[in-house]
């Protein structure tokens, strides 16, 4: 397999992460969990203008993408932000950006010659 295709494959792996982040409510949840630390569902529902059930569903989507993790404490279920997973998404964007920079410098070389 060519180098390009290998890189492309790795990049495409990140699609589910972006899909999970690609909803305003979910992105807000992630941001909130990231800045406030672990929170329960009811706490997260306050300040969100949707039902608790909707929040639950969103959290499950985020968990499916590996962006959050849950921890039970008695009757409370705390949701914890997973920084490592977000870092993967960052790396993906970095790869695309640097590919672009390379393409630009190749073009520059080409024009100069």
Partner DNA sequence: CAAATAGGCAACCAATGGGTTGCGTTTCGA
Partner DNA sequence: TCGAAACGCAACCCATTGGTTGCCTATTTG
If binding means CB under 8 A, how many residues of this protein chain bind its own copies?
A: 42
50 scored as a contact of its own copies (CB under 8 A): no
Smallest gap from Cβ 51 to its own copies, in A, equals 19
Residue 86's region, left for phi above 0, alpha for psi from -120 to 50, else beta, is: alpha
**Residues forming the site for DNA (CB under 7 A):** 19, 23, 25, 40-43, 50-54, 56-58, 61, 70, 73-78
DSSP state for residue 73 in the 8-state scheme: E
39 SS3 class: strand
Q: Which of 6, 22, 46, 76 binds its own copies (CB under 8 A)?
A: 22
49 scored as a contact of its own copies (CB under 8 A): no
Contacts with its own copies, 89-108, as mask; x by CB under 8 A? xx--xxxxx-xx-xx---x-
Nearer CB in complex with its own copies: 27/78: 27
Q: How far is CA 89 from CA 11, 47, 49, 83, 112, in A?
A: 9, 26, 27, 10, 35
Judged by beta carbon distances under 5 to 8 A according to partner kind, the member of its own copies, DNA, none in contact with residue 108 is none
User: The dihedral of CA 99, 105, 111, 113: what is its sign?
Assistant: negative
Residue 70's region, left for phi above 0, alpha for psi from -120 to 50, else beta, is: beta
63 scored as a contact of its own copies (CB under 8 A): no
């Amino acid at each position: 397999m060519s180098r390009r295709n290998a890189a492309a494959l790795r990049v495409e792996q990140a699609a589910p992460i972006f899909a999970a982040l690609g909803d305003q409510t979910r992105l807000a949840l992630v941001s909130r969990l990231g800045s406030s630390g672990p929170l329960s569902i009811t706490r997260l529902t306050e300040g969100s203008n949707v039902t608790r059930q909707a929040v639950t569903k969103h959290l499950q989507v985020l968990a499916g993408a590996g962006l959050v993790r849950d921890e039970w404490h008695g009757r409370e279920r705390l949701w914890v932000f997973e920084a490592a997973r977000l870092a993967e998404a960052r790396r993906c964007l970095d790869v695309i950006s640097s590919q672009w920079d390379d393409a630009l410098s190749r073009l520059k070389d080409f024009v100069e010659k």
